[in-house]
């Protein structure tokens, strides 16, 4: 059911933890499954993401996608990090079963929420970034789980 990469990132998640005095912190949840994700970003003066960590109270697919997403945004500029969509993360993991696709949205939204937090405190606008939702299941079509 899961690819080797998903299993690897689930069993050995990268970048788990917190960043003290992070440049941006984002927390999102999905009220439907009750899972929560928090992402910490350390962004330098050139707007390059030096470090990224995550903490989750979430399912295995949420852990694996967050692990991969944090690996993918590290070393990138803010604008490049905006291209790290849940689709890109899923591709990097060789796919997820269809019922688990929504889990990958937690990581994308939490990164956006952390970027939003950074943008707010630094008074900048990040192109293409919209105010993140706290609950990603909001406004979603009813789905079968
Ligand atoms: Fe909730 Fe996967 S079931 S994030």
Residues 11-20 pLDDT 10s: 999 999 999 9
Beta bridge mates, 36: 29, 57
In 10-126 the beta strands, taken as DSSP E runs, fall at 24-30, 35-43, 49-57
Beta bridge mates, 54: 16, 39
Ligand 1: nearest atom to the Cα of 33: 1
33 lines ligand 1 (CB under 6 A): yes
Which residues are catalytically annotated?
33, 103
62 lines ligand 1 (CB under 6 A): yes
65 lines ligand 1 (CB under 6 A): no
Per-residue model confidence (pLDDT) at position 140: 62
- What is the 33 CA–ligand 1 centroid distance (Å)? 6
Structure confidence by residue, pLDDT tens digits, 8-58: 999 999 999 999 999 999 999 999 999 999 999 999 999 999 999 999 999
8 Å CB contact between 65 and 89 = yes
Per-residue model confidence (pLDDT) at position 84: 95
- What is the 16 CA–ligand 1 centroid distance (Å)? 17
Average pLDDT, the chain: 93
pLDDT over threshold 50, residue 144: no
**Other C-beta atoms within 10 Å of 124: how many?**
11
């Amino acid at each position: 059911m899961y690819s080797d990469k998903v299993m690897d990132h689930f069993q050995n998640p990268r970048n788990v933890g917190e960043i003290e005095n992070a440049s941006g912190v984002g927390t999102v949840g999905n009220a439907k499954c009750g899972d929560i994700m928090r992402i910490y970003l350390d962004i330098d003066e050139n707007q390059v993401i030096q470090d990224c960590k995550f903490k989750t109270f979430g399912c295995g697919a949420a852990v694996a996608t967050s692990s991969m997403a944090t690996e993918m945004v590290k070393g990138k500029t803010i604008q490049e990090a905006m291209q790290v969509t849940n689709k890109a993360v899923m591709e990097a993991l060789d796919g997820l079963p269809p019922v688990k696709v929504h889990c990958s949205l937690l990581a994308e939204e939490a990164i956006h929420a952390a970027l939003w937090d950074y943008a707010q405190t630094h008074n900048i606008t990040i192109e293409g970034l919209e105010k993140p939702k706290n609950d990603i299941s909001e406004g979603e079509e009813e789905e079968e789980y």
